[in-house]
Structure formats: C-alpha cells, structure tokens
C-alpha cells in the first residue's frame, strides 16, 4: 500500500494498464445497461458491477493522487499512535483491524434508510449519486479529515474548525452539531416507532434487548470484569431467545393485545429509554449495548451482502419513476435537490468527519494506512447503501409504495391502499398485501414509513429465497427488524448522552454548576432538556398525517450535509495552509456541490408554495383550515392542529438555522483562505513537526 508507485518493468506496466482499462470498461458498460434500460427488468448484478468498478478506479487512482500529491503521506513519519503510545487509546494497530474499527464506527442506519426512501425516484438516481458522490465527495472528506487529524495528534473536527478557520466557525460548528444531533435522534426514533407500532412481536423482541444489555452489564461489572467478548457472546445468544419470545407472544391473543402499542405510546417509551440511558451509569446499559450493536452491525452488513450475492435479484423498480417531478408519496420534492439530501450517508456524511477525527487517527500504524481506512472504509459504507437500494428495488414497486407511503395517502385498508398504488401507476392486489403481512407475522405492513420495515421485507425476501422458504419469512423479517432497531437505539441512547454533554458544556457559561457532568441535578436537568428537544420532533413526526418522514428526513439530510460542508471547509483550509492551494479543488469540488444542494433544499423546504413541500405553505394551509373551523384530513383534534402549525414554523426556523450556519462557516473560511492566498497571512501549517518512525516491532 505504498503511496509511491514503484517503477515496474514495461510488460508489467502494460498488463496493469490493460487490467485497469478492463475495469473501467466493465464499469462503464454496467452503468450504460442501468441507464439505458427502459421497460425490461435489469438484474442487480449490473448495479453491483457498476459500483465495484467505480470504487476500484476511484481508490486506485484518485485516493492515490490525494495521498501522494495533497498530503504526501510518508511512512517514514511517526504517527500519533507511535509517538504517544499509551497502550490504550493511542496504539499502533494493524491497518485491517483499524479499518474494521473505523467501519464499525461510521456504519449505522443512515446508509440503509436513505437509499430505501430515495428508491421512490427509481434505482438510477440513487445509484449514480451513491457511487459518484462517494468517490468524489464522501470518501475524500473522510480521508482528508483523517489525514489532517492524524497530523495533529488526533484533534477533533470542532477543535480543528476553531484553530484552522477561527472562533466564529468553531462556535457555529459546535452549535450546529448539537442541532444536527437533535434532528438525527428524532428521525431515528421515528424509524423505530414506525417499525414497532401495532407489532407485538417486534415490540417484545426489542423491549427484551434492554434487560439483555443489563445482564451483559452486570456480567462485565461484577461476574467477570471487563470480559467484553464473553458478555457479547452471551448477549447474541439471548437476542436469539428474544426473537422467539416475540413470536410466542404474538401467537397468544391475550398477550399480543398488551404489546400492541400505538405510535404515541412507543414514542413516549423511546423518550423514557433515551433519558434512562443518559442518566444511568454507563456500565449498566450504554456500554453493553454499544459492544453488542457493533457486532450486530457487522453481522447485518455481511448477511445483506451474502443474501444479495446469492439471490442476485432482478430489480422490479424502473430506472426512473414519474415521481422525479416531486409528487412522490414517500417524501415530497423533485429529484434535484431531494435525491441528494435523502441519500446522505452512503454518498457523503458529515458525521464521519467526527469519527475520522476521533478514535481512528490514534490507531494508525503508518501514515499511508489512512488511505485504506479513510477512503476505503467509506467506499465500503457506500456499498452498504447500494445493497440497501437493491433490497428496496427488488421489491415489487406496488409493495414498496404500500409499505413506505403515509397512511393519509393509502387509506385505512388493503383495498384503499391497492387503489392508491394503482393511481400511482403500479400494480398490487389487496390479497397480495394481506398475504405478505401474514407471511412476515404482522397484521398490516401498510404505511410503515421510515424505511426499516421495507428493508426488512426486502431482506426477508432475499434470505427466504435462499434459506428456509416462505415459512421462514416471519423469522427473517423480525430478525432484521431486531438488528436494525438495536443499532438505531444504540445511536439514540449514545447520541442523547453526547447531546447532554454538549448541552452541559454550552450551559456552563450561563450557570457554572450546570457543566458538572457528575452532579446528579445537572445530569438529570440536561438529560431531560436534550430528550425534550429531540422528543418534540419525534412527537411531531408521530402525529403528522404525512408520516413524519416527509418533514424530518429532509431536515436530517440537510443537517448532515451541513456538517459535511464544515468538514470540507476545514479540509480546504488545512490544504491551503500546507501551501497546496493548487490542490484545494479536491475538497472545494464536493463543497461547492453540497452548498448548492443544502441551500436549494433548505430554500425549497421553507418557501415552496406547495403545502406538502414547504413548511410555511403547510402552516398557511393549516391556519386557513383552523380559521374555517375544519380539521384537515388525518388530523385528529384541534389541539393537534395548533401543535402542527407551531411545528411547521419550528421546522422552518430549523432549516433557516442550518442554512445560516452554512453561510457563516463558508464566509469565515473564505476570509481565512483569502488571507492566506493573498499573502496577508503566512501559510503556516499547524501539523505536529516531522519525527522519524522508530519501527519498533510489536508494541
């Protein structure tokens, strides 16, 4: 993995050139098949080939270019892991192990949910944005931030924003990360609520994961201190028990009724869980769940890959649907910019910059390892997104829309849903919908918005095709739901805790004791505040007749892309200050695209005159109904109506805040760039000075 290409004999060079040319031709041919097919179904294999060939070319050439020309990664230079080796955080780690660690940290529900939702445009926009976006954007961001942080002893993104750009950008980044956290947790909570509502099986299985984590916690605290692997193995076995326990409960009408919960009840339970996880000692709940879900994440990814590779399903979804015009039932908004906001993780995800400037830079053994870990792990995540897209597009479009569209569009029964789907130009019979729901062990799959149930149906299809037949569908479905919910809730509980710390950090400037992270009154107050913040958005999503995803997911997408813009601003500043301004286009290119996407997406969500799309127009419509004394369809009470109006204004304000943050950070960065380029300020890199690598074996 050397960054300088060793001179090879002419014959070898020719073979290599021919090989790479073949990869390029294969990738282009696969893309052509995907793009040009009209009418006939295309096999998923074409999608896989197009993705893998593009990744291979991007990795071989573009990441090598960045490694050699922009950062000049140098294996003779000691990494922080070597210089600061403390045997714990800073430890030189084999590059594949560090790759696994980094991948497990960046992977989450994002790349599974986003592509599933964006499949309403057809498979083509999704696959193009995932594959091109990652090679030129997402992987570049992760790689650049990892290199920048590694050269600065593992400094965090926030610290780098403050030190490289300035205090204004630093503070804006800090506040916007808090805002992003709130929206992220709310939307993930909504995904879980929609997967579990009116599902006794799912509710019992997921509910049991909480005592399972506590058993693991007790085991690691008192029985066998620190034995994480033993406890995780125990936890995985118990998860299997929980899966069957859920099935058992669902099969007994008396018990099933007790665990058939409404969205509102589940939302309150999720909030209570988030609060508890933030307040309780970490060994009891948070830490064991963290370990368990890391294993589960890797397991789900491998299972999905095997399922798709074995089944190689045909794509039932057309390349493009009529919903590219913005009239889609799952979320409103035209292809541009909404395909690029809906699929954030998988193409480019700002959150990764927080990981790439967190634990990973403290593990690199050699500088050149940053290439496979920073750029390579993001390609892997992108591949997960491609697989989620395949799972969604392998479903019959009628089934896909019946699961993912909101109740207000589908109506209450399988008959009304089939009629609605027919109006959108797809075919599904009421009997098919009812049979499918029965097969997966649910009373209904209609309007389970949020992407998780549809992915679970898709994966259950793939698995049961190769293993177990349709009898096993229900088990596979709940198996996937359990795993998705497990790692979503782990993001939710840890995120609540992170948010609590950030809130305490900000709040201590107003009232000193509030910042004490070990003082119970401050802990309870700050935890309650952060839960109230995301809980408000979650509640809004649950009562929203449009399904909640319609308003929350675009906000999440915009916020995630905003964070990516922050990371790319930091990256550009670092590159310019290294005296490499001529290569600044590497980060400026994706940055420019993100600014266009977030600003136009934000503006549309605020000002569009279409009520399904624009927050202000929606508020206007509801106010007109309120003034006329009527309730719009799907709204249950006058109280809900006035809450929804307030929420529309809040959503508009949040969108405005994210847009303003983009402008502030961009302006502050541009000022710094200009100062350096014009010569007003010396181009001084803040890298830790070069120290030669000792190359001690072992340690």
Partner 1 sequence: MHARPHALRAALRRLGATLRRIVGAPDYEAYLAHVARRHPGTVPLSREAFARDSLARRYDRPGSRCC
CB of 497 to partner 1, least distance (A): 6
Of 337, 353, 389, 279, the closest CA to residue 557 belongs to: 337
CB of 498 to partner 1, least distance (A): 5
Stretch that binds partner 1, among 17-25, 142-150, 341-349, 471-479 (CB under 8 A): 341-349
46 vs 291 by CB, closer to partner 1: 291
Which residue of 243, 266, 345, 613 would you call a contact of partner 1, by CB under 8 A? 345
> Which burial class, exposed, middle or buried, applies to 638 when counting CB atoms under 10 A from its CB (0-12, 13-18, 19+)?
exposed
107 vs 261 by CB, closer to partner 1: 107
Stretch that binds partner 1, among 198-206, 302-310, 354-362, 662-670 (CB under 8 A): 354-362
Q: Which of residues 185-204 bind partner 1 (CB under 8 A)?
A: 188
CB of 560 to partner 1, least distance (A): 7
In whole angstroms, give the CA distance from residue 435 to residue 441: 10
108 belongs to the binding site for partner 1 (CB under 8 A): yes
211 vs 299 by CB, closer to partner 1: 299
In whole angstroms, give the CA distance from residue 620 to residue 639: 17
606, HSE (Cβ side, Cα atoms, 13 Å):
17
695 belongs to the binding site for partner 1 (CB under 8 A): no
554 belongs to the binding site for partner 1 (CB under 8 A): no
CB of 503 to partner 1, least distance (A): 13
100 belongs to the binding site for partner 1 (CB under 8 A): yes
560 belongs to the binding site for partner 1 (CB under 8 A): yes
In whole angstroms, give the CA distance from residue 37 to residue 124: 10
In whole angstroms, give the CA distance from residue 654 to residue 356: 27
* Site map (CB under 8 A) of partner 1, residues 244-283, x = contact: --------------------------------------xx
Q: Which of residues 280-319 bind partner 1 (CB under 8 A)?
A: 282-283, 286-287, 290-291, 294-295, 298
159 belongs to the binding site for partner 1 (CB under 8 A): no
- Number of residues forming the site for partner 1 (CB under 8 A): 60
Quickly list DSSP for 497-565: HHHHHHHHHHHTTTSGGGG-TT-HHHHHHHHHHHHHHHHHHHHHHHH-TT-SHHHHHHHHHHHHHHHHH
Stretch that binds partner 1, among 74-82, 355-363, 398-406, 652-660 (CB under 8 A): 355-363
Of 310, 309, 365, the closest CA to residue 85 belongs to: 365
96 vs 649 by CB, closer to partner 1: 96
CB of 101 to partner 1, least distance (A): 5
Which residue of 54, 194, 349, 550 would you call a contact of partner 1, by CB under 8 A? 349
Give 457-461 contacts, CB < 8 A, sequence gap 24+. Answer: 457/395, 457/399, 457/403, 458/116, 458/391, 458/392, 458/394, 458/395, 459/303, 459/304, 459/307, 459/391, 461/313, 461/391, 461/394, 461/395
364 belongs to the binding site for partner 1 (CB under 8 A): no
Query: In DSSP terms, which residues pair with 42 in a beta bridge?
Result: 315
491 belongs to the binding site for partner 1 (CB under 8 A): yes
Which residue of 95, 497, 605, 618 would you call a contact of partner 1, by CB under 8 A? 497
Which residue of 494, 533, 555, 659 would you call a contact of partner 1, by CB under 8 A? 494
Which residue of 7, 9, 86, 678 would you call a contact of partner 1, by CB under 8 A? 86
226 belongs to the binding site for partner 1 (CB under 8 A): yes
Which residues make Cβ contacts (< 8 Å) with residue 381, sequence separation at least 6?
Answer: 103, 106, 107, 111, 134, 138, 345, 346, 349, 352
Enter the tokens of residue 570: 């930091």
106 belongs to the binding site for partner 1 (CB under 8 A): yes
Q: H/E element holding 345? A: none
89 belongs to the binding site for partner 1 (CB under 8 A): yes
Q: Which of residues 37-66 bind partner 1 (CB under 8 A)?
A: none
CA angle 227, 228, 230 (to 5 degrees): 70
> Which burial class, exposed, middle or buried, applies to 614 when counting CB atoms under 10 A from its CB (0-12, 13-18, 19+)?
buried
Q: Which of residues 611-650 bind partner 1 (CB under 8 A)?
A: none
- Give the number of other CB atoms < 10 A from CB of residue 368: 20
95: helix, coil or strand?
Answer: helix
Of 342, 347, 355, 348, the closest CA to residue 386 belongs to: 347
112 vs 131 by CB, closer to partner 1: 112
391 vs 494 by CB, closer to partner 1: 494
220 belongs to the binding site for partner 1 (CB under 8 A): yes
In whole angstroms, give the CA distance from residue 43 to residue 393: 10
- Calculate helix-pair angle for 585-607, 549-577, nearest 10 degrees: 150
**Interaction site with partner 1 (CB under 8 A):** 85-89, 91, 93-94, 97-98, 100-101, 104-110, 156, 177, 184, 188, 220-221, 225-226, 228-229, 232, 282-283, 286-287, 290-291, 294-295, 298, 344-345, 349, 351-352, 354-355, 358-359, 363, 491, 494-495, 497-498, 501, 517, 556, 560, 698-699
């Amino acid at each position: 993995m050397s960054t300088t290409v060793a001179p090879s004999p002419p014959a070898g060079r020719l073979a290599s050139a021919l090989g790479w040319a073949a990869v390029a031709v294969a990738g282009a041919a696969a893309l052509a098949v995907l793009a040009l097919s009209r009418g006939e179904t295309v096999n998923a294999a074409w999608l896989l080939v197009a993705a893998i060939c593009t990744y291979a070319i991007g990795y071989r050439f573009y990441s090598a270019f960045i490694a050699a020309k922009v950062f000049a990664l140098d294996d003779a230079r000691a990494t922080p892991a070597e210089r600061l080796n403390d045997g714990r955080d800073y430890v030189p780690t084999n590059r594949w192990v560090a790759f696994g660690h980094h991948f497990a940290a960046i992977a989450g529900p994002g790349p599974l949910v986003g592509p599933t939702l964006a499949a309403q445009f057809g498979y083509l926009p999704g696959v193009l944005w995932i594959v091109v976006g990652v090679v030129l954007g997402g992987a570049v961001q992760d790689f650049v931030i990892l290199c920048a942080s590694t050269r600065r002893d593992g400094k965090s993104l926030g610290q780098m924003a403050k030190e490289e750009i300035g205090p204004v950008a630093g503070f804006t980044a800090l506040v916007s990360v808090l805002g992003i956290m709130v929206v992220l947790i709310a939307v993930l909570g909504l995904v879980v609520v929609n997967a579990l509502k009116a599902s006794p099986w799912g509710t019992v299985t997921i509910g049991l994961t909480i005592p399972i984590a506590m058993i693991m916690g007790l085991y690691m605290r008192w029985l066998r201190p620190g034995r994480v692997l033993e406890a995780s193995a125990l936890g995985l076995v118990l998860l299997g028990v929980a899966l069957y326990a859920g099935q058992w409960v669902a099969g007994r009408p008396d018990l099933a009724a007790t665990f058939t919960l409404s969205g509102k009840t589940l939302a309150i339970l999720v909030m209570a869980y988030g609060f508890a996880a933030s307040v309780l000692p970490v060994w009891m709940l948070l830490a064991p769940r963290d370990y368990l879900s890391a294993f589960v994440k890797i397991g789900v990814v491998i299972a999905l890959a095997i399922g798709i590779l074995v089944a190689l399903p045909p794509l039932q979804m057309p390349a493009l649907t009529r919903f590219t015009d913005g009239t889609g039932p799952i979320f409103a908004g035209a292809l541009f910019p909404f395909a690029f906001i809906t699929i954030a993780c998988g193409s480019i995800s700002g959150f990764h910059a927080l990981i790439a400037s967190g634990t990973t830079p403290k593990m690199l053994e050699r500088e050149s390892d940053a290439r496979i870990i920073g750029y390579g792990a993001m390609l892997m995540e992108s591949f997960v997104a491609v697989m989620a897209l395949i799972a969604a597009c392998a479903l019959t479009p009628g089934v896909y829309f019946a699961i993912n569209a909101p109740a207000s569009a589908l109506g209450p029964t399988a008959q009304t849903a089939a009629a609605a789907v027919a109006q959108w130009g797809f075919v599904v019979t009421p009997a098919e919908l009812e049979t499918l729901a029965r097969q997966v062990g649910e009373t209904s799959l209609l309007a389970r918005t949020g992407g998780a149930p549809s992915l679970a149906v898709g994966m259950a299809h793939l698995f049961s095709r190769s293993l177990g037949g349709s009898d096993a569908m229900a088990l596979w479905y709940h198996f996937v739901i359990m795993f998705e919910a497990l790692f979503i809730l782990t993001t939710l509980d840890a995120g609540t805790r992170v948010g609590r710390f950030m809130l305490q950090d900000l709040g201590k400037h107003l009232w000193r004791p509030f910042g004490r992270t070990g003082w119970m009154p401050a802990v309870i107050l700050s935890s309650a505040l952060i839960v109230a913040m995301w809980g408000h958005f979650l509640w809004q999503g649950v009562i929203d007749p449009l399904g909640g995803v319609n308003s929350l997911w675009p906000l999440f997408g915009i916020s995630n892309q905003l964070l990516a813009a922050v990371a790319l601003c930091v990256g550009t500043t670092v590159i310019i200050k290294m005296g490499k301004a001529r290569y600044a286009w590497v980060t400026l290119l994706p940055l420019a695209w993100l600014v266009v996407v977030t600003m136009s997406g934000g503006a549309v969500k605020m000002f569009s005159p279409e009520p399904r799309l624009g927050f202000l127009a929606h508020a206007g419509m509801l106010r007109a109904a309120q003034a006329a004394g009527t309730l719009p369809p799907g709204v249950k009470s006058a109280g809900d109506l006035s809450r929804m109006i307030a929420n529309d204004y809040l959503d508009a304000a949040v969108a405005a805040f994210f847009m303003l943050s983009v402008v502030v950070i961009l302006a502050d960065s541009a000022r710094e760039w200009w100062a350096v380029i014009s010569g007003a300020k010396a181009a001084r890199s803040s890298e830790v000075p070069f120290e030669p690598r000792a190359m001690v074996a072992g340690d």
